[in-house]
Structure formats: C-alpha cells, structure tokens
Amino acid sequence: MRQESAAAPQARHRAATARPRTAPDAELRRLLARAATGDRDAFLGFYDATCAVTWRLELCRHGDAERATVATRRRYAAAWLHAAAQAGSGLTARAWLLSLPSGPAPLVRRAATVGVGA
C-alpha cells in the first residue's frame, strides 16, 4: 500500500465523517475481490466507503481518537491481508470488516466495585 503521512489517515477520517459515502454491499464485495488480487485502488475505494463507520466504532470502543486511529489502521491492515476471505465468510462486506481483529479490546472499568460479603 502507498505510504501516507501520520496525519493523512486522520484527515481521511474527518473527510469521510463529514460526507460519508454509502455503497451497496455488492459494490463493496467487488472492491474486496479486486483488492484480494492486489488492486490498491479497489482497496482504497473500499476504505473510502467504509472508514467513517469503522473509525466511529473504534472511537466508541476506545474513547480516544489516537487509539481509535491505531485500531482502525490494524483493522484495515487485516482487511488488506485477508480480503479474499470475505467471499466465503457468509457476512456482508461491512459486517466482515467489523468482525476483523483491531487489536486488544480496551478494559471495561466499573464505576464501583462490589466487595465480598457486602
């Protein structure tokens, strides 16, 4: 994949969040099939069509924009490496993407702990 500056993915996320592009699942599946053959432009099209929802999911999971960006990068790296697997997954392209690992899940903190015998 082509090299981008550290600020480029965040700028792409902002642009995608401001004007999200929706694409039917059939188009996303075609893009992933092409990406599986090494077509970088197809993968960038898939990224552009899905990055807003992916980044928002990671932002909800992590509660921090920097960690969300790292997790989003990991998710798309996994998607690039395993794009051919989507066709046999039985999932829509978006569901498949969101099912990929993005790194360790954040710890859930309890507001109060319950003591033994309390």
Q: What is the pLDDT of residues 2-11, one digit of tens each?
A: 555 555 555 5
Task: Give the containing element (helix H, strand E) for 60.
Answer: helix 40-62
End-to-end CA distance of the chain: 56
CA distance 110 to 90: 36
pLDDT tens readout for residues 35-63: 999 999 999 999 999 999 999 999 999 89
Q: Residue 23's pLDDT band (boundaries 50, 70, 90)?
A: confident
User: Domains in the chain and their CATH numbers?
Assistant: 8-99 (1.10.1740)
Quote the pTM value.
0.72
Greatest Cα pair distance, the chain, in angstroms, is: 60
Q: Helices 65-81 and 8-18 meet at what angle, rounded to 10? A: 90
- Find all residues with CB under 8 Å of 33, minimum gap 6, and list them: 83, 84, 86, 87
